[in-house]
Amino acid sequence: MPARILLPSRGGRRGRPRRLATRLAAVVLAAPLAAGAPIALAQQTEQAPQGAAPGTQGTPQGGAEAPPELTERQFKDWLVRCGRPDQQGPEVCEMQQEQVDRQDRTVMAVAVGKVPGSSEVGLLILLPLGILLPAGVTMRIDDGAEIPLEVQRCERQGCRIERILEPDLLNRLKAGTKATVYFEAVDPQGERQRLGVPISLLGFTAALNEVTS
């Protein structure tokens, strides 16, 4: 079955925030992909004990902690966000990209960042609910072979793919121009379709250098 390629990403776009509570559990990248807080920063803020100092001055009404103050830089199609979940802690950075359809709905979100305490780099891909899990998910870099990706779990925020980017795969991403994530879903008419969602790799290396430096 031929794959339908969805619209290219508006990588790192600065438009309306989207509550995509995404998490890269095994790689320690975790949290909303929009709404202003980067993945790792938001998770650490959520896990902070009651009364702990938030990452920004001031606290929202109702006593909830404010999200960490962020800095953002655009590297072509990748948005790099950095901040300090704890004022006393180190700065944490991650690179993000979001893919949308013709109705401006998010169909996939991607985040890459350094695994704290190691030199490894982690990848998170968040796919929408309703994908056909038995069909599997794969990723193809440019014209290379498809690489199987394992969906760890599906929750109300979406279906999560979490993995360490091994040096060989990381080098292929740095050298590429586009990656495509393939999966199957059922359309409104009840027909199975194989979909391909592109990830732009323009700016990938520069953004990666920023988040891993």
pLDDT tens per residue across span 12-54: 443 332 322 232 222 223 323 333 333 443 344 344 334 433 3
Assess if residue 63 is contained within a domain.
Answer: no
pLDDT higher than 70, residue 209: yes
pLDDT higher than 70, residue 100: yes
pLDDT in tens, 172-197: 999 999 999 999 999 888 899 999 99
Count of domains for the chain: 1
Neighbours of 200 (CB within 10 A): 21
Highest mean pLDDT among 95-104, 121-130, 173-182, 188-197: 173-182
Determine if the pTM surpasses 0.75.
no
d(CA 145, CA 191): 26
CATH number at residue 120: 2.60.40.1880
- Beta carbons of 156 and 209 less than 8 angstroms apart: no
Assess if residue 202 is contained within a domain.
Answer: yes
Domain range enclosing 198: 3-46+68-212
Q: What is the DSSP letter of 134?
A: G
